[in-house]
Amino acid sequence: MDQDIGYILRNWPYDPDEDIIVRIVDTDNGPKLQMRIDMGIIQMELDGHPSGEKPPGYESWFDYYERAKEEYESGKVDDYFTLSGDDCKKLRREGTQYYYRYLSLMKLEDYSRVVRDTERNIRLFAFVKKHASSEMDRWALDQFRPYIIMMNVRAKASLKLKEHSVPGIEEAIDLFDQGISQIIEFYREYGISSEADSSVELSILKALKTEFLKKSPPTLEEELDRAISEERFEDAAVIRDRIRERREKKTTKRNN
C-alpha cells in the first residue's frame, strides 16, 4: 500500500496567512475532522475521543483516571489519590488532542461541540491541579486556564447571539462578565494579579463584550432619557410605568 500522502497535501495547499484551515470529510467510518498544518494533516473524530483511541472500557484517559480515583478513595481512609508524572503526561497529551479539535470546531462555528470540549478540558485541568503529585505537572496544564475559559465563553456567547433575541444578548453579556471574573481570579489565585492587565484572553473578552453591548437595544432608562430630551412626554410617562412595573415584579420575586 502506498503510504505517501503527498498527493493529498498537493490537493489541499497550506495557506500560512490563514489562522486555521479545517474541513469535515465523510469516510466509511463516519465524518472526520481534518486540520491542515504546514507539513501535513491532522485528522480527528468529530465526536468521542479525538484520536479514536480509548483506554480499555473508557472513552478517554480522563474518564479512566476519574474512575481510578473513585475506586482508590473508596478503600482508603487516611490516604489520597495522586497522579504520577506519567499519568499527567497521558492527560496532557489527551488534553492537547481535545484542544486541536475545539480549535477546529470554533473555525467551523460548531459552537455546541466547542462548549462540550472546552468544558471537558476545564474539568481535566481542575482534576490534574487537585491530584498531581508535582507542582510542575499542575502548572503545565493550569497555565492555559485563561485561554480555555475565553474559548468556552466565546462559544457560549455565540450560541446566545444566534437566538437573535434581547434576552440572548443580555445572557451573552453576563457570560462575558463571568469569564472576565474567572480569568481575574486565576491571576489572583497565583498571586500575579498585576499580570492580568497584559492578559490577551482578558482583552479579547472585554472587546467582545463591548461588541455585544452595541448589539443590545437601549434600556428603558435610556429610552426614558431620550423621550424627555426630545420632549415626548406622553411616551416618557408610558416608559416610566413600564420601569415601575418591572421594579415591582423584581421586588415581588425577591420577597417570594
Long-range contacts of 58-63 (CB under 8 A, 24+ apart): 60/94, 61/90, 61/91, 61/94, 62/91, 62/94, 62/120, 62/123, 62/124, 62/127
More confident residue, 53 or 179: 179
The pLDDT of residue 248: 79
Question: Is residue 79 located within the same domain as residue 132?
Answer: yes
Nearest to 47 by CA among 34, 57, 33: 33
Name which of 148-157, 199-208, 217-226, 227-236 the model is least confident about. Answer: 217-226
What is the pLDDT averaged over residues 192-219?
85
Q: Are residues 67 and 161 in the same domain?
A: no
pLDDT (0 to 100) of residue 10: 84
Residue 74, pLDDT score: 85
Domain end among 122, 141, 160: 141
pLDDT (0 to 100) of residue 254: 63
- Exposed, middle or buried, 18 (CB in 10 Å: 0-12/13-18/19+)? exposed
Whether residue 63 sits in one domain with residue 86: yes
Residue 122 sits in the same domain as residue 137:
yes
Report the percentage of the chain scoring pLDDT > 90: 54
Highest mean pLDDT pick, 35-39, 165-169, 211-215: 35-39
Q: What is the pLDDT of residues 83-139, one digit of tens each?
A: 999 999 999 999 999 999 999 999 999 999 999 999 999 999 999 999 999 999 999
If we measure between CA atoms, which residue out of 150, 124, 125 comes closest to residue 60? 124
Q: Residues 244, 198: contact at Cβ < 8 Å? A: no
Other CB atoms within a 10 A radius of the CB of residue 162 amount to: 12
Let me know whether 160 and 86 are in one domain.
no
The predicted-structure confidence for 30-43, as pLDDT tens digits, reads as follows 899 999 988 889 99
pLDDT of 15: 85
Categorize the per-residue pLDDT at 67 as very low, low, confident or very high, splitting at 50, 70 and 90: very high
pLDDT band at 156 (very low <50, low <70, confident <90, very high): very high
Q: Which domain holds residue 79?
A: 1-141
pTM of the model: 0.80
Distance CA 228, CA 235 (A): 9
Same structural domain, 183 and 150: yes
| CA–CA gap between residue 115 and residue 153 (Å, rounded) | 8
Write the DSSP string, 210-244: HHHHHHSPPPHHHHHHHHHHTT-HHHHHHHHHHHH
| Residues paired with residue 132 on neighbouring β-strands, in sequence order | 83
Give me the amino acid identity at 76: K
- pLDDT for res 173: 86
Whether residues 137 and 242 fall in one domain: no
Number of domains comprising the chain: 3
Cell of 30: 463516519
For the chain, helix, strand, coil in percent to 5 are 65, 10, 25
Is residue 220 very low, low, confident or very high in pLDDT (cuts 50, 70, 90)? low
The grid cell for 205 is: 473578552
